[in-house]
Amino acid sequence: MSVHLHSLVVDVSSRKLRYFVAVAEELHFSRAANRLYVTQQALSKQIRELEGDIGVRLLRRTTRSVELTPAGEALLTAARQSLAALDVGVEAARAADRGESGTVKLGFVIGAALELTSLIVAEFGRRHPGIRLDMREYGFADPSAGLADGSSDVALVRLPISAPDIESEPLFVEPLVAALPSGHRWAGRTSIPVAEMAGEPLVVGRTEDAAWRGQWTLDAHRGGDAARVVTLTSSHTEEMEVVAAGRACAVTVAGAARYTPHAGVRYVPLDGACGSTLAVAWRRGHLAAAVEWFLQVTREVGAAETAVVSSIERPFPSTHNQPL
């Protein structure tokens, strides 16, 4: 026995289904017509055509009432599900056309944008729920946080960086501090002149970016003299372990006292040192719509959260030199 497949397939328009759902929920043609902004006659015609398309009676109509038949009850559930799925698909298509879908790869160096990070990420998610933010931390080997090799679309970085074709906008400037072994002769000071610190043995990040490395060896403050670099490390936590072991000192940002406290390390402000600029950066010529939206959110959050930025730029209370 053969089966004609076309007899099993019914092509029902979404408009007819929406009209049917409205009548089924209102159980009143006049109210449903008002809800749909159509005439009652047009609505009745669509329902009759739908019943003809399907080949079953969906509603029992009298002069006083409208009721769903068992077939109508069954169709109502399926119609709601189908229309909901269609609406989701249509919105997804529109979002994709606007660039409001997909993934933005956000690279960042240790600490990212400090207390601003969660505010930026939350606001971006609120404004662009269809875009997934894929976050990845990069170590000292790549100060561009993935921009140099294209593994990031946008990044939170510490300037300066030497990688070509990267553009950036500063968010804030954070003071530099000396990370000292707890038994260091300066551990009890309230501050250290940068000229004194320039002569100390240092541990710095292992990287080929000379400009970035020069920030952490205080090259701008040593009059051309070479830094006394004792060892190189791959991460900030490794760097602090070297300091805690008493092998060297390090130059880092003030936020380290909050984010990476260590019993064997004292963080002391550096007087006269150029601060560390935290910036949002992107690859020149690769400014996709979603990246522009992320930049806009970052700018606006930074401008709005002046109290947070102020605390970052002046992070130490009077008890900063106490053991952590």
User: What confidence score (pLDDT) does residue 318 get?
Assistant: 40
Residue 146 and residue 85 share a domain: no
The kind and range of the H/E element at 60 are strand 59-61
Is residue 104 in a domain? yes
Domain identity same for 56 and 111: no
- List C-alpha distances in Å: 292 to 20, 122, 246, 295: 43, 16, 45, 5
Residue 208: other Cβ atoms inside 10 A: 11
Q: Is residue 142 part of a domain?
A: yes
82 and 149 part of one domain: no
Contact 168, 280 (CB under 8 A): yes
Question: Tens digits of per-residue pLDDT, 277-319?
Answer: 999 999 999 889 999 999 999 999 999 887 777 777 777 654 3
CA–CA separation, 146 and 135 (whole Å):
11
> 130 and 78 share a domain?
no
Of 98, 115, 138, the one marking the end of a domain is 98
Say yes or no to pLDDT of 18 above 50. Answer: yes
> Where a domain ends, among 35, 68, 98?
98
Residue that wins the pLDDT comparison between 202 and 274: 202
Is this prediction's pTM over 0.75?
Answer: no
Tell me how many domains the chain contains. 2
Q: Where residue 59 sits, what CATH number does that domain have? A: 1.10.10.10
- Do 177 and 268 contact (CB within 8 A), yes or no? yes
Give 64-116 pLDDT, tens digit per residue: 889 999 999 999 999 999 888 887 777 767 766 666 658 999 999 999 999 99
Predicted confidence (pLDDT) per residue in 117-169, tens digit = 999 999 999 999 989 999 999 999 999 999 999 999 999 999 999 999 999 99
Distances (CA, A) of 108 to 23, 48, 78: 54, 61, 47
Pair 145, 252 in one domain:
yes
Read off the tokens for 323: 């053991």
Task: Output the six-digit token pair for 277.
Answer: 């600029």
In a domain, 2, yes or no: no
Provide the 10 A C-beta neighbour count for residue 126: 9
230 vs 305, which has greater pLDDT? 230
Residue 4 falls within a domain, yes or no?
no
φ, ψ for residue 186, nearest 5 deg: -100, 5
- Is residue 253 domain-shared with residue 269, that is, in the same domain? yes
Rounded to an integer, what distance in angstroms lies between the CA atom of residue 114 and that of residue 96? 32
In angstroms, the CA 52 to CA 72 distance is 13
Average pLDDT value for residue range 188-217: 95
Give the CATH number of the domain where residue 217 resides: 3.40.190.290
Claim to verify: residue 146 and residue 288 sit in the same structural domain: yes
The answer to the question of residue 5 being in a domain is no
Answer whether residue 273 is part of any domain: yes
186 Cβ contact list (under 8 Å, min separation 6): 178, 180, 192, 196, 268
Contact between 74 and 58 under an 8 Å Cβ cutoff? The reply is no
Residue 231 lies in domain: 99-324
